[in-house]
């Protein structure tokens, strides 16, 4: 894909995979719209990237916030070609018997409803312009339970099902819906996991986590025709064949 005339929206863009993806897509020539709650971090990243970036302080769990950002992107750049649903949280890390109900519900609002909100907000414009790519950052946690991660595992399973539902309903309208399971990535989320001391993931050495640049490069590859065979599916970055196709070591 030639990204020079493409517009990419990235949620959770203030740090980690989202920020790395913003840099990768911008370096490829795309215009990038950055959505996250951390206004100062977004502004700094937008300033770093330059004129091809716009920042939108936004709570993805609030549809009005997301819809307003999408409308502004369309008004400024005319269209949306790619949505990267990356925003997510890991807390509360807690056994079910001890979990705070409000914290548990907030995670579901961000990790599941936030994904729906992004899809719902961009679909009318994408369908009108003939299609687009919607990628949701998933996790191995979508497919198996882990101690203390009832909220996170449930949310990722829900987001994975949303991706499958989107593919079922909109593939015929040109929508390329996919998920990316990146494995463990050296981000702030992994620091929170490490600090919790709960389950085997918290015991991993920092050197075992991959750089955020790897999933960012994979997200860009997933927007190209070389990834068409994976539409409707979840791509795993643990797969050596995927790493080879992306061009990762």
Tens digit of pLDDT for each residue in 211-242? 999 999 999 999 999 999 999 999 999 999 99
Residues 6 or more apart in contact with residue 218 via CB below 8 angstroms: 180, 182, 235, 237, 242, 246, 248
Question: Could you give the count of Cα atoms lying within 13 Å of 236 in the half-sphere of its Cβ?
Answer: 9
Q: Is residue 35 part of a domain?
A: yes
Which of 43-52, 160-169, 181-190, 229-238 is predicted with the least confidence, judged by mean pLDDT?
181-190
Q: Is residue 217 part of a domain?
A: yes
Q: What is the pLDDT of residue 195?
A: 95
Task: Of 79, 74, 40, 77, give the one whose Cα is nearest residue 57.
Answer: 40
Q: Are 19 and 45 in contact (CB under 8 A)?
A: yes
Phi-psi domain of 201 (left: phi exceeds 0; alpha: psi -120 through 50; beta: other): alpha
Q: Is residue 248 part of a domain?
A: no
Task: Of 182, 172, 156, give the one whose Cα is nearest residue 231.
Answer: 172
Environment class of residue 109 by beta-carbon count within 10 Å: exposed (0-12), middle (13-18) or buried (19+)? middle
165-175 tens-digit pLDDT: 999 999 999 99
State percent of the chain over pLDDT 70. Answer: 100
- We report the CATH number of the domain holding residue 150 as 3.40.50.720
Q: Is residue 129 part of a domain?
A: yes
Q: What is the pLDDT of residue 2?
A: 87
The span from the CA of 233 to the CA of 207, in Å, is 29
52-104 tens-digit pLDDT: 999 999 999 999 999 999 999 999 999 999 999 999 999 999 999 999 999 99
Kindly list the catalytic residues: 152
> What angle, rounded to 10 degrees, do the helices at 16-27 and 213-222 form?
50
**What's the total number of domains in the chain?**
1
Q: Is residue 249 part of a domain?
A: no
| Structural domain that includes position 127 | 3-243
Q: Tell me the mean pLDDT in the region 127-141.
A: 97
Q: Tell me the mean pLDDT in the region 162-190.
A: 96
Q: How crowded is residue 73: how many other Cβ atoms within 10 Å of its Cβ?
A: 24
Task: Of 233, 48, 4, 57, give the one whose Cα is nearest residue 138.
Answer: 233
């Amino acid at each position: 894909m030639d990204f020079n005339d493409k517009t990419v929206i990235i949620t959770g863009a203030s740090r980690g995979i989202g920020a790395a993806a913003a840099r990768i897509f911008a370096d490829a020539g795309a215009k990038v719209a950055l959505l996250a709650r951390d206004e100062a971090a977004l502004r700094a990243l937008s300033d770093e990237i330059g004129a091809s970036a716009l920042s939108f302080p936004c709570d993805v769990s609030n549809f009005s916030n997301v819809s307003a950002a999408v409308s502004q992107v369309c008004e400024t750049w005319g269209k949306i070609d790619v949505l990267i649903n990356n925003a997510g949280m890991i807390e509360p890390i807690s056994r079910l018997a001890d979990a705070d109900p409000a914290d548990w519900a907030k995670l579901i609002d961000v990790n599941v409803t936030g994904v729906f909100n992004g899809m719902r907000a961009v679909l009318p414009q994408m369908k009108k312009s003939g299609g687009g790519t919607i990628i949701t950052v998933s996790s191995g946690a979508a497919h198996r339970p882990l101690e203390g991660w009832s909220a996170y595992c449930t949310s990722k399973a829900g987001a994975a099902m949303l991706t499958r539902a989107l593919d079922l309903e909109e593939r015929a309208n040109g929508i390329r819906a996919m998920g990316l399971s990146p494995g463990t990535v050296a981000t702030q989320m992994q620091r929170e996991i490490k600090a919790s001391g709960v389950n085997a993931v918290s015991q991993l050495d920092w050197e075992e986590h991959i750089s955020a640049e790897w999933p960012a490069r994979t997200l860009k590859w997933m927007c190209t025709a070389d990834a068409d065979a994976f539409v409707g599916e979840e791509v795993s970055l643990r797969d050596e064949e995927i790493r080879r196709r992306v061009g990762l070591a």
